[in-house]
Amino acid sequence: METLILHPTATAQWQALVDEAERLSSIQLSEELESYVVFLLMRFSEHPEMVGNIIATEFLENLTHLKQTQEGLREVGDKCLLYAGLFPGNARRRRVRISYYVNLGQSAYGSLSESYINSFSKLFASLSNHFVGIMDIMHAMRELTKNEFSLDLLQAEELWSDTHSKHALQVLKSKTDGFLLSQFLLENSNEIPPKLH
């Protein structure tokens, strides 16, 4: 049985959880990304209703209203990260793949990185580029409290095929001794002979 360690502040508690999930997932975020994730999780825990809207509509509305774009796109990216990382079951209920949230979130953060000229540009570009890794860390966070994977086999296969999520691959490997063709193809893509016409 694991010992529950309480930290003096909510920030320290979230930081410890993210650190442990990074260790379990073998993914190390930059200090800037780690801080962003910790504060996103704190904000979500204080306002859980923030993930209740239809995200694609928000994304499109924010692209058409220049004044609201930056804050709105950040909200879209953040919500997508929360859905993909903490609530992967939501995708099935909404009849979409988890990669729907990944693609939309990466697009929102990517659009933000292009709209800033300062250090925020780098932060949002980094969030877009490391979206899948952050999602994997959030999956590991979910699994810290229960001894089962947060993805089922179908979700893991789709997520691996769509995004090459390391966590999804770990789930697949844990459930089968079989040969994962998509992993082989990815690892040996430069050795595959060209098609014969």
Domain boundaries in the chain?
Answer: 10-191
Q: Which residues contact 51 (CB under 8 A, 6 or more apart)?
A: 44, 79, 82, 83, 87
Q: Which residues contact 158 (CB under 8 A, 6 or more apart)?
A: 97, 98, 99
Q: Which of 18, 12, 42, 5 is nearest to 142 (CA)?
A: 18
**DSSP label of 5:** -
Please tell me the predicted confidence (pLDDT) of residue 6: 53
Q: What pLDDT tens digit does each residue of the chain (197 aa) get?
A: 444 455 567 788 888 989 999 999 999 999 999 999 999 988 888 766 655 555 555 555 655 554 457 888 898 899 999 999 988 888 888 889 999 999 999 999 999 898 877 778 899 999 999 999 999 999 999 888 777 788 888 899 999 999 999 999 999 888 877 655 555 555 655 554 444 33
Please tell me the predicted confidence (pLDDT) of residue 105: 94
Q: Which of 22, 37, 25, 29 is nearest to 166 (CA)?
A: 25
Global pTM exceeds 0.85: no
